[in-house]
Structure 1
Amino acid sequence: MFQLIDRADRLHFDLRDDERIVRTTDVPGVPHDQDLIVRALRLLQAEYARRHGRLPPGIDVAVEKVLPMGGGLGGGSSDAATALMAANHLWQAGLTREELMALGLPLGADIPFFLFGETAFAEGVGEALQAVDGPDCWYVVLEPGVAVPTPAIFSAADLTRDAKPVRIADFSSHINSGSMVGFGKNDLQNVAMRLFPPVAEAVEWLSSYGDARMTGSGACVFCAVSSEDAADQVLAQVPQKYAAWKAKSLKIHPLKKSLLQISEL
C-alpha cells in the first residue's frame, strides 16, 4: 500500500527559448543526464513531437532536495512524476493521467503511483493501482544516516520471494478495523537491516513508540502516530545521531489537486 505524505522535494520550472531540457541545480550523486527528471521530460518531449510534429520549448528545472537520497521515500520517482505533470500542463501536451503513467513506468516502478496521485493498493511491479482509503495520521520518520542502494537489496541472496500475496480484500478488512498496526510486512526490511546495521538500530529504537518499519527498500524508518502532538513527543526523544522529522498523511497529490482545479475553471 502506497501513501503520500506532506514532505517532499520542491521543483521550479521555466520554459526556455530553445528546445533543451536543463537541470539548473546540482544534485550530488545524480549526473544530469541520468536524473529521472531530465529523462522523464525528454520522453514527454519526444512524445509531444510524435503527436504534434514539432518539439515543444525546452524547460529549465531547479531542484530543492528535501528528502534524503537512498531513503526509500520515492523522492526521485516523485520528482519525475511532478515533472511530467508540470510539463504536460505547460506544454499543453494533452496526455491523460494513464498515458503519463505508461510513459513513466519504464523509468521507475514507483512513478505511476505519484502520477496516480492518491492512496493506492499496488500490484504487479507497482503499476496496477487501485484507490483505497488509508489511515489519516501523522508519521515520525528517522534517517539512519546511510543511503541504501535498491539494487543491493534486490540482488541479496537472502531476499525471499515466497511471501503470501496480500489481496486488496485483506487490506480493506484491516483498514475497516480502524488501525493499520500489524498489517502486512516489508520483505526487504530484514535484508536491509543485515546489510546496513544503522537501519536495524533505527528500527529497534523507534519500535519503542509503535509499529516501526522501514519504508520501501530503505533506509528511512517510520512509525505511525495518532496526532501531531504525539509525533512531537517522539521527536523530542530522538537521539542526536538521527535526522528525524514528522509528516502528515495526504489523501491526494497537491499538484494533481491544483491541476484538477485549473481544469475546472
Structure 2
Amino acid sequence: MNKHLHKTFKFPSPAKLNLFLHVVGQRNDGYHELETLFQFIDYSDSLEITVTNNSNIELVNPIDGVKNEDNLIFKAAKLLQEKYRTDSPNAALLGAEITIDKILPMGGGLGGGSSNAATTLVALNALWGLKYTNEQLAGIGLSLGADVPIFIHGFSAFAQGVGEKFTEVHPEECWYLITKPEVSISTASVFSSQDLPRNTTKLACQDFDKHYCDKDLFNDALYHNDCQTMVIKHYDEVAKLLAWLVEYAPSRMTGTGACVFSRFSSQQQASELQAKLPKGINSFVAKALNKSPLLFAIDALKK
C-alpha cells in the first residue's frame, strides 16, 4: 500500500535565471550548442499533487489556451508512467490529480514550463515510490526541453551542450529585480532567427568553478546573452526596458526573454528601483538560490 495514496502534497516549481547565455554553435540536428550559467531564485509556481489509485492524470485547473496533451505537466507525468510500465510491466500504475498555482510569466525566459515538468517528474517519482535516479529522470525530462534536467538536479550550474552537461558552481546569492515588459517571446522564434549569433567563442577554462568570478559577471566582453542581441532588434519593449535599467544597475535578459534581471547586493536596493519602474512593467524582487527549494520539499517528504 502506497503511504502517499489519497494525500495531497505541495511542491515548489522555481524560476531560473541564465546569468549569461552563449550560443557557441549549431549541430546537424538543428539543436544549438550552448554555454550558460543557471541560478535559481526564490520565486515559484506551486504544484499540489494528490496520488490516486488509478492511472489517470488529471489537471484540475488547466492553463487557459493550452490543451492538456500539450501541457508539460501532463506530458511529464505520462512519460514517467510509460517509463515505469516499460521497466515494470506487471506493476500497477498509480495516477495523480495535479493543481498548479501559476505565477511565473509565460514567454519570460524564466523556465516556468520546464520547471513545471521537472517538479512533476521529481515529485511523482517520490510519491509513486518509483525510485528512479535524478540522472534517469533528467533523461526523461530532456525530451521535454533542454532546461528540464537542471531543474531536476536542482543546483546552480555551468551548462554546456544543449544544456545537459553540468558543472556545479556557487555564484553569489544576491538580490535581483526581475522585470518584464508587456510582451511574450517564443523560444522557437529566437533560436530560428537569422539574427541570432551562433559563433561565440567557447570559454577556455576547463574547470569553470575555479575560474568563475562574480565581479566579472556583467563584463560583456566575457559574458553576455546572445539571445538578447537578437531580441532587442525585434522587440522594442525589451530594448527600451534594458536601456532604462542599465542606467541604475547591471542588467541583462534571461534565457530567450522577455524578462530582464538587475543585480543588487540587498533587497532594499532592488525594491527601491522597483518603485521607480515605468508604468506597464511587471516586476518582482527575488533572492538568488544555489539549491532549488524543490530539493528541500523532497527531503521533507522522506522524513
> Does 2:79 correspond to 1:52?
no
Specify the alignment match of 1:197 in structure 2. Answer: 236
1:121 to 158, 162, 170: 158
Amino acid at match of 2:84: Y
Q: Distance in 2 between matches of 1:207 and 1:170?
A: 30
Task: Quickly say closer, same or farther: Cα 1:102–1:177, change in 2 above 3 A.
Answer: closer
Specify the alignment match of 2:279 in structure 1. Answer: 240
Specify the alignment match of 2:103 in structure 1. Answer: 66
The Cα offsets for residues 216-253 of structure 1, whole Å up to 9 and x where unpaired, read as: 00110111111101111111111121011111001211
> Does 2:47 correspond to 1:11?
yes
Runs (4 or more) in structure 1 with deviation over 4 Å come to 167-171
Contact 2:51–2:128 (8 Å) recurs in 1: no
Task: Quickly say closer, same or farther: Cα 1:167–1:252, change in 2 above 3 A.
Answer: farther
Specify the alignment match of 1:108 in structure 2. Answer: 145
Q: Distance in 2 between matches of 1:14 and 1:47?
A: 20
Contact 2:218–2:224 (8 Å) recurs in 1: no
Amino acid at match of 1:4: F
Amino acid at match of 1:98: E
Contact 1:97–1:115 (8 Å) recurs in 2: yes
Amino acid at match of 1:189: Q
**Offset of residue 18 of structure 1:** 2.2
Structure 2, unpaired ranges of 5+: 1-36
Q: Secondary structure at the match of 1:107?
A: coil
Q: Distance in 2 between matches of 1:160 and 1:59?
A: 42
**Offset of residue 147 of structure 1:** 0.5
Q: Secondary structure at the match of 1:9?
A: strand
After TM superposition, the structure 1 stretch with the greater mean CA deviation from structure 2, 109-118 or 46-55, is: 46-55
2:78 to 42, 52, 58: 42
Contact 1:120–1:129 (8 Å) recurs in 2: yes
Q: TM-score, normalised by structure 2?
A: 0.83
Q: Distance in 1 between matches of 2:243 and 2:210?
A: 28
**Offset of residue 262 of structure 1:** 4.6
Contact 2:167–2:208 (8 Å) recurs in 1: no
Specify the alignment match of 2:182 in structure 1. Answer: 145
**Offset of residue 8 of structure 1:** 1.2
Contact 1:135–1:179 (8 Å) recurs in 2: no
Task: Quickly say closer, same or farther: Cα 1:17–1:260, change in 2 above 3 A.
Answer: closer
Contact 1:119–1:252 (8 Å) recurs in 2: yes
Greater helix content: 1
The Cα offsets for residues 164-195 of structure 1, whole Å up to 9 and x where unpaired, read as: 11255585466446553325111110211112
Q: Distance in 1 between matches of 2:70 and 2:242?
A: 32
Task: Quickly say closer, same or farther: Cα 1:194–1:55, change in 2 above 3 A.
Answer: farther
Q: Distance in 2 between matches of 1:168 and 1:219?
A: 30
After TM superposition, the structure 1 stretch with the greater mean CA deviation from structure 2, 163-172 or 46-55, is: 163-172
Q: Distance in 2 between matches of 1:223 and 1:123?
A: 24
Contact 1:32–1:38 (8 Å) recurs in 2: yes
Contact 2:172–2:214 (8 Å) recurs in 1: no
Specify the alignment match of 1:259 in structure 2. Answer: 298
Superposed CA RMSD: 1.7
Count of residue pairs the alignment pairs up: 264
Task: Quickly say closer, same or farther: Cα 1:167–1:68, change in 2 above 3 A.
Answer: farther
Task: Quickly say closer, same or farther: Cα 1:244–1:100, change in 2 above 3 A.
Answer: same
Amino acid at match of 1:3: Q
Task: Quickly say closer, same or farther: Cα 1:253–1:168, change in 2 above 3 A.
Answer: farther
Greater strand content: 2
**Offset of residue 258 of structure 1:** 3.0
Q: TM-score, normalised by structure 1?
A: 0.94
